[in-house]
Structure 1
Amino acid sequence: MTKFSELGLAAPVERAVSEEGYETPTPIQVRAIPPLLDGKDVVGIAQTGTGKTAAFVLPILTRLIEEKKQAPGLSCRCLILAPTRELAAQIGNSIAVYGRNTGLTHAVVFGGVKHGPQVRALARGLDILVATPGRLLDHVADRKARLDLTSLVVLDEADQMLDLGFMPALRKILHMVGKPRQTVMFSATMPPPIRALADDFLRDPVTVAVANQAKPVERIDQAVIYVGTAEKRQALIDLMAPEARKSTIIFTRTKRGADKVAKFLVEYGHKAAAIHGNKSQNQREKALEAFKSGEMRVLVATDIAARGLDIDGVQLVVNFELPNVPESYVHRIGRTARAGAEGRAVALVAPDERGLLQDIEKLTGLRIKGLNDAPPISGPTRPVQPQRGQGGQRRNGGGQGGGGHRGQQAGGGGQKRSNNRRRKPGGGQGGNRQSA
């Protein structure tokens, strides 16, 4: 069995991993770290909770130490792009933890917070910049950041980053980055059309994958409840009654829907809150901290808002509405059964969502059990797509970006690290102290 000591990591990085209590890397780390250390372009495909963040953070820290260069003001040696501020904050936390013995500098840049701390951090020059596309482009446009001296770029959650809505911003950023460069993409899923787009940015990439990219982890007990759209609220209340003490994440398609679900759950006596792009950074952080601490048991989220959430101990995931994209279902239920734990995922399926359920079962290769009989249906089997301006999630190049300075997030953007549970490198908080 491979040990971290055998992967060729720099001594300060290896020491930090050891201090966190880890000896054995996960499969994605074993496969991704060597080619990354060799300077090769890499596409990494792994489910959430497998340690994929550490799979690129650890070799990046090692390479930057060995190169012994200093970034001029306004520039960064390594740029890591993330689709949401939560994921950016999580990556920043991993860099702080595993880079604490290195002396390397980093900042996290995302929207929803003041520009000032970010501008000051960028002015000094950074070894690593973690950013969401929108705020990064704002700083570049204001001449507060430059990318022509950057030689290493990572796109995390690449399937979402390369969605059509993010493509213009990504192409613009990548055209600004210096050449030659090393480009890395990591994601839980990589559908063929997205893979084709990814290949445009990489040179002879090494592909590393673990397990079936579309297969949810086997520890998740999946089920569906067939219900009419008008009866979904009561079905959710009935489902939640015996699960009241369980840590639960409920997914909706839209921000407006998330607010409505959280509101009626509170009316029924549940401690619940919604997180989505329209919430302020302070509101999101307060909700996440309350959920992590157990003060609040229910979190209602949209797909984009939930990207990168690093929360251990989630016992139940409820799909109040099925996602329009089957791959998003895999991401959603991956919030539970992390770090070797068991988990449960239940979907409330209306008649017009039967087609979406079929797409999910086709993608995953699994027949999801029904907790009740599916009534016969007539009419459309797919939901009507929301029109712009009607509460649907917009995919664009950014606007979600925040800030940081040496070793921490600036502007109050980061998630706090639990004092009593250690994080699994690159993914949740691990109960197994022998693997990362």
Structure 2
Amino acid sequence: MVSGTPGRLKDLIGKGELSLAHVRYVVLDEADELLSLGFLKDVEWIVNQARAQARGGEIQVALASATFPEEVRGVAARVLRNPVRIDIEPPRTAEAAPLKAGEVVAAGEGRAEHVARDTTRDEVLEHAAAEIREALREPGGCVVVFCRTKALTKRRAEKLGQLLPHEEVVPLEGNMDQRKRERVMDKLRDGTARVLVATDIAGRGIDLPEVRLVIHADVATTSEDHVHRSGRTARAGRGGRNLVFIIPEQRQRWAQVRRGLPAHLHPPKTAQEHLIDKDIQEKQGRGSGNGVDPVRSGSGRSGGGRDGGQRGGSGQRSQGQGRGGPRGGRR
């Protein structure tokens, strides 16, 4: 099995250092994010090379994504042949729309509890600490707290460490090198640490043994990001809880995120989430990564992009040359 980023795989295949002669399967994992980073041409080239080089005949190509926006559907039509779509979701209700030809639905257990709660910026960590204590009363398991920027992640990890003196709280964000990230993950897997405070970098591609609670200390930027965050809990048939804290400055953002969520991920509405004061709302954007409120700093999107450098300052996706870290981002 070979696992790699599209750019690196293309280099190795092009130089003849990686043979695809015995390839049987090609899997495009996290397809929506992979394609949003501008890798479509590389992905198509790799799939075509695998089909051309495979000695065993036809290969099977699979595309996996927690969300399935229009751009991913378009790519599926370009790189897959006669595809069958398999949706894994809670049981369909009688009034659900009928399936289209070629679609299959596997019913998931749907054991996650989705909750939203009104709070303020000054009180969010106290409320989060109380929820974490309750979730971790029994041995084992862990909690993931999502924040909008790298600076907030560091500060909140320190603060939660003070509020939870009997728990080791560890941060995870994009500026950490691979060795530090691995140390953090090892602590979580062996139970040394049970509280992870992270940016959306932890929303994809990490596998923790038992996430009992996901806390959105900041509302996610998009519905897709919310789905990926929420998917850290209630995995492999286990239960879990997904808790969104809604501060007055982020109510408009939450309204937009809520509209894009599938029905089974909607928490019951809070008493105050509809009370939107547009004068204090934080602007949409991936955040600067420096903890500065985008409204107060006068910028919507910044050069930092989401978690440090995934998107350019103009808000457009950049597809320049050069390769990034473990997610294979091109800048």
TM-score, normalised with respect to structure 1: 0.54
| Inter-partner Cα distance in structure 1 for 2:218 and 2:72 | 24
Paired residue for 2:111, among 206, 212, 219? 219
Task: Report if the CA contact (8 A) 1:317-1:333 is conserved.
Answer: yes
AA matched with 2:267: I
Give the direction of change, closer, same or farther, for the CA distance of 1:391–1:284 in structure 2 (3 Å limit).
same
Aligned pair partner of 2:284 in 384, 387, 392: 384
User: Which runs of no fewer than 5 residues in structure 1 stay unpaired?
Assistant: 1-127, 403-436
- Structure 1 distance, partners of 2:162, 2:152, is 15
C-alpha deviation, 1:346, in angstroms: 0.7
Following the alignment from structure 1 to structure 2, what is the Cα–Cα distance between the partners of residues 374 and 242? 25
Of residues 301, 324, 329, the one that matches 1:399 is 324
Match of 1:154, SS?
Answer: strand
Aligned to 1:331: 228
Q: Which residue matches 2:2?
A: 129
The answer on 1:247 being equivalent to 2:142 is yes
Following superposition, the deviation at residue 391 of structure 1 comes to 6.2
Is residue 194 of structure 1 aligned with residue 62 of structure 2?
no
Q: Distance in 2 between matches of 1:384 and 1:209?
A: 30
Describe the superposition over 1:47-83 as per-residue Cα deviations: whole angstroms up to 9, x where unpaired.
xxxxxxxxxxxxxxxxxxxxxxxxxxxxxxxxxxxxx
Q: 1:153 corresponds to which residue?
A: 26
Kindly tell me: are residues 209 and 222 of structure 1, through their superposed partners in 2, closer, same or farther at Cα, counting changes over 3 Å?
closer
Distance 1:183 1:332, change over 3 A: same
The residue number in structure 2 matching 1:25 is: none
Secondary structure, aligned partner of 1:322: coil
**Counterpart Cα distance in 1 of 2:33 and 2:86:** 18
CA 199–302 in structure 1, closer or farther in 2 if over 3 Å, else same: farther
CA contact (8 A) 1:249 1:317 kept: yes
For residue 88 of structure 1, what is the aligned residue in structure 2?
A: none
Structure 2: where are the runs of 5+ without partners? 53-57, 91-104, 288-300, 311-317
Contact 2:218 2:246 in 1 (8 A): yes
Aligned pair partner of 1:287 in 184, 190, 195: 184
* Alpha carbons of structure 1 residues 135 and 244: separation in structure 2 relative to 1, 3 Å: same
Aligned counterpart, 2:120: 228
Q: How many residues align?
A: 274
User: Do the aligned partners of residues 352 and 197 (structure 1) sit closer, same or farther apart at CA in structure 2, a change above 3 Å counting?
Assistant: farther
Q: Shift in Å at residue 226 of structure 1?
A: 1.8
1:297, distance to aligned residue in structure 2 (A): 1.1
CA contact (8 A) 1:247 1:313 kept: yes
Higher relative contact order (CA 8 A, sep 6+): 1
Is 1:210 equivalent to 2:88 in the alignment?
Answer: yes
Q: CA deviation at 1:289?
A: 1.9
Secondary structure in 2 matching 1:338: coil
Alignment TM-score, normalising by the size of structure 2: 0.69
RMSD: 3.4
Distance 1:360 1:375, change over 3 A: closer
Pairwise CA distance, 1:182: 3.4
Rounded to whole Å, the distance in 2 between the matches of 1:200 and 1:304 is 28
Secondary structure of 1:295's partner? Answer: coil
CA shift, 1:321, in A, is 1.5
CA distance in 1 between counterparts of 2:269 and 2:147 reads 20
Task: Name the CA shift for 1:244/1:149 in 2 (closer, same or farther; >3 Å).
Answer: closer
1:167-187 CA-partner distances (Å, limit 9, x unpaired): 454345446544365322122
Q: Deviations for 1:279-321, whole angstroms, at most 9, x for unmatched residues?
A: 2222222211211222111012233334222223211110111
Task: State the one-letter code of the partner of 2:199.
Answer: T
1:130 partner SS: coil
Offset of residue 140 of structure 1 = 5.2
1:314, 1:343 within 8 Å by CA — same for their partners in 2?
yes
Name the aligned partner's letter for residue 384 of structure 1. Q
